[in-house]
Chains A and B, each alone.
Chain A
Amino acid sequence: MQMNEPEAITAGRKIGDVILDLRNISLSFGGVKALTNISFDVREHEIRAIIGPNGAGKSSMLNVINGVYRPQQGEIIYRGQHRKNMDCYAAAKSGIARTFQNIALFKGMTVLDNIMTGRNLKMKSNFLLQALYWGPARREEIEHRRKCEEVIDFLEIQHIRKTPVGRLPYGLQKRVELGRALAAEPQILLLDEPMAGMNVEEKQDMCRFILDVNEQFGTTIVLIEHDMGVVMDISDRVVVLDYGKKIGDGTPDEVRTNQDVIDAYLGVAH
C-alpha cells in the first residue's frame, strides 16, 4: 500500500518537529467560557491525546483545530503558517481529517460510497464529466476507487463493502468513519472519542488500527478518549483539560502523577 508514506520512516516512526502549535486559545459562547488561554503543540508523527472530564472543552478544542469554531483569542500555527483561526475547507485541504463523537456517516449509503466521500477534495474533474463517467473523470474515479479499496483492505472491512452503513453495528460504523478520514490521506487525523461505546474486543481492534495508521503512514494523530487505559497505552503525550483550562501536559507517566489531574478526575475536598 502506498498512501502518503513518508520515506524517512523505515524502522518504526520518528517523532519530528512541531507541526501544529496552538497559542493562548480562548473560546466562549456568550457568557460560557469553553476554552481559556490554552496552549499546546503537536509534533509530527506523534499520537497526542486530549483528556478531561465531561464538559472540559475537549471537543471544542478539536473544533478549533479544524476550523468549526473560531476562537476569540489566540493563534494557530500550522506548518509554519500563522493564522487567527482555521477555516474548515482550508483545514481539510491542507491535510487535516477527522471523525466525530456521534458518528456522522451517510446512513443510507454503502461503506464504499461513504469512504469515497473522503476523496471528495482530491477529485479534480468537473461535475459534467463525472456525471458522464467519461475520459479523465473515469480514470480519476478508478484511481480513487483503488485508494478506497486500499483503505478497506487496511481496515479489514471487505465483507461489508457494499452494505449500507445504517445496517452495521456501532463498532463497525466507527471503523468506517475512520476509513473515510483515512481516504483523505490526512497528515493530521483528529479522532473524537474513537472508542466510545465499544466492547473490549472492538477497542483492541481500534487501538491496533490507530497505531498502524500512525506507524505505517506516519500520520500525526490527535485523539480524545475517555478510556484511560487506552490513552496511557497508545499516546506519546497527553494534554489534560478541565473546565476549559489546561491543567496538565506531558507524557502519560507525567500526567498520571500530576496532582491537579488526579484532583480533577477523583474530585477534591473543599
Chain B
Amino acid sequence: MDNINIMNRFLGSIGFSVLAFCTTIGRIMIFACRAISHIFRPPYYGREVLTQFMQIGFYSLPVVGLTALFTGAALALQIYSGGARFSAESVVPSIVAIGMVRELGPVLGGLMVAGRVSSSIAAELGTMRVTEQIDALVTLSTNPMKYLIVPRLLAATFAMPILVAVGDTIGILGGYLVGTGRLGFNSTNYLKNTIDFMEIGDVTSGLAKAAVFGFIIALMGCYHGYNSGRGAQGVGRATINAVVSASVMILAANYILTEVFF
C-alpha cells in the first residue's frame, strides 16, 4: 500500500511539473501574441524604441565585442591545432570566419546579451510592478504593453543583428591577429581566404538567428518582469528566470534555425 502511495505521489509530481511547464509555455505564447498585436496598432512610442535601442544595442557593444574577439582568437588556435593533424592548417581563416558568422557570433553574442539585457529588463519591469508603476501607467491611460513591452521587443529584435554583425567582424579580427601574429599566416592570404570561402548565405543565416535571439531575449525579460512576484524576492526570481529561460530558448532556437538553414 505504501509503495502504491509513493508511486502515486511520484507520478503526480511528474504530472504536476509537466502541466506547470505547459501552462508557462502557453502564457508566454499568449503574452508574445498580445505584444506582437500591439506592434501594429497605434499609439506608437518611437522615442521609447530609440531609448531602448541605445540601452540594448549600443551599451551591449563592449561585452559582445570582447566576447567575439577572444572567441575568434581561441578558435584560430584550436582549428590550427586540429588542422595540423591532417596538414590542413590553411583552412584556419575560412573556418574561423564561417564558424563565427554562422554559429559562434550569434549564439555567444545572444547568450552574453541575454545575461545583460534579459536580467536588466526583468529587474526594471519587476520593480515597476512591485512599486505599482505599471498600475500607475494604466490609470494614466497608457497601455503598458505598448509603452513598456513593444519598444523593448522591437529594439532587441533590430539591435541584435547589428550587434552580431559587429561581433562577427571583431571575432574574425581576433582570428586574424592570432593567425598573422602567432601562427605565421601571411596577412593578405589570410584575408583572401576569409573572404573567398564565405558565402552571403552564411552571413544572412547568422543575422536571421540574431534577430530571433533578440526577440527571445526581450520577450523573456519582459514576460518574467511584467509578471514578477511581490517584493525583492519576487523581482530576484523574475531576473533569474528571465536569464535562464532566455539562454535555454536561444540554444533550442539555434538548433531549430540551424536545421532550417542547413
Q: Do A and B come from one complex?
A: no
A interface residues with partner B (beta carbon < 8 Å): none
